[in-house]
């Protein structure tokens, strides 16, 4: 297939790009590195020249926090919505949208709401669409997992509150496998939560990262949520990922039923113990 892949220079997009090439697909990469800025791709007409001869579109552009000139409204909603509408106009049949777990009826942060807005546009269009909502994604090149690995390596591990937030991290190879399956699945128009084999607490995940590198469990240092939140209001200007909204999403938890994904893949996704 000839596939337009947005976000091809990113963590997940990069893994998808390599897998597409290995599977013999032709991939047209899109991102600022390839000369296309979503902030300037806000109408279907902007996208039409990119869609000649394209069989499927995979959208993997996203940001975890807004910065100057990078808005959720444009990157998560307006540019993808324009791209999806352009697919209808150009006769591109299949679209795979990388959304995020929590972009549903309970969405409460601008990150989740902007993802959901684009997902809702896609659902309304006459396309073979797949909306994938990954939990925290980890694997080679992942930025958030690298930050958590760094926390896990400390002899005294700082935790947000009691560290008992429930999460269900998914390995990037399972996200890629799900995308590849979307390209060939006979029945489309599906929303899938892309999660790891089972939920665990945040502190247990950090301790398992220590085990992986042969370290003993660390002592933990619970930091009251209010204090972390106050620090995040300043810290986000240095590390955008530390935005208070991201801490709120972590506090709410990030888990889902794995069964639909397991049926779609024909196997269970990896657990954190099994992942490479």
Ligand X SMILES: NC(=O)c1ccc[n+]([C@@H]2O[C@H](COP(=O)([O-])OP(=O)(O)OC[C@H]3O[C@@H](n4cnc5c(N)ncnc54)[C@H](OP(=O)(O)O)[C@@H]3O)[C@@H](O)[C@H]2O)c1
Binding stretches for ligand X (CB under 6 A): 7, 9-13, 31-33, 36-39, 60-63, 70, 75, 98, 100, 134, 136-137, 142, 144
Nearer to ligand X, 69 or 266 (CB): 69
Least distance in Å: CB of 37 to ligand X?
A: 4
Smallest gap from Cβ 70 to ligand X, in A, equals 6
The smaller minimum CB distance to ligand X, of residues 151 and 218, is found at 151
Other Cβ atoms within 10 Å of 105 Cβ, number: 5
What is the smallest separation between the CB atom of 141 and ligand X, expressed in angstroms?
Answer: 7
Q: Of the two residues 103 and 127, which places its CB atom closer to ligand X in the complex?
A: 103
**Least distance (Å) from ligand X to the CB of residue 67?**
9
Q: Which is nearer to ligand X, 39 or 251 (CB)?
A: 39
CB atoms within 10 A of CB 274: 11
Q: CA separation (Å) from 204 to 78, 82, 128, 229? A: 38, 41, 39, 22
Question: How many other C-beta atoms are found inside a 10 Å radius of the C-beta of residue 106?
Answer: 9
CB of 138 to ligand X, least distance (A): 7
Residue 267 neighbours by CB under 8 Å, 6+ apart: none
d(CA 163, CA 206): 10
Contact 25, 58 (CB under 8 A): no
- The residue among 55, 53, 59, 49 whose CA lies nearest residue 29 is 59
Compare residues 222 and 252 and give the one whose CB is closer to ligand X. 252
Judge whether 97 and 122 are in contact, CB under 8 Å. yes
């Amino acid at each position: 297939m000839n596939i337009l892949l947005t976000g091809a220079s990113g963590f997940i997009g990069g893994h998808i790009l390599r897998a597409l090439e290995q599977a013999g697909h032709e991939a047209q990469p899109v991102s600022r590195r390839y000369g296309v800025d979503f902030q300037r791709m806000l109408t279907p007409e902007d996208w039409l020249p990119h869609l000649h001869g394209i069989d499927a579109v995979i959208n993997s552009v996203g940001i975890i926090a807004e910065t100057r000139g990078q808005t959720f409204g444009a990157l998560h909603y307006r540019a993808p919505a324009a791209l999806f509408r352009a697919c209808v106009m150009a006769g591109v049949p299949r679209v795979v949208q990388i959304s995020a777990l929590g972009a549903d009826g309970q969405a409460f942060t601008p990150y989740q709401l902007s993802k959901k807005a684009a997902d809702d546009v896609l659902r309304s269009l006459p396309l073979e669409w797949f909306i994938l909502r990954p939990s925290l994604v980890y694997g080679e090149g992942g930025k958030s997992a690298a930050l958590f690995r760094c926390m896990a390596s400390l002899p005294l591990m700082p935790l947000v509150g009691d560290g008992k937030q429930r999460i269900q991290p998914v390995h990037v190879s399972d996200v890629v496998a799900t995308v590849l399956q979307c390209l060939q699945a006979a029945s489309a128009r599906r929303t899938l939560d892309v999660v790891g084999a089972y939920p665990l607490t945040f502190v247990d995940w950090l301790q398992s990262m220590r085990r992986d590198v042969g370290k003993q469990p660390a002592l933990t240092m619970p930091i009251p949520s209010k204090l972390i939140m106050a620090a995040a209001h300043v810290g986000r200007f240095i590390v955008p990922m530390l935005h208070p909204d991201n801490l709120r999403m972590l506090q709410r938890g990030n888990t889902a039923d794995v069964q639909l994904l397991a049926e779609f893949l024909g196997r269970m996704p990896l657990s954190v113990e099994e992942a490479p």
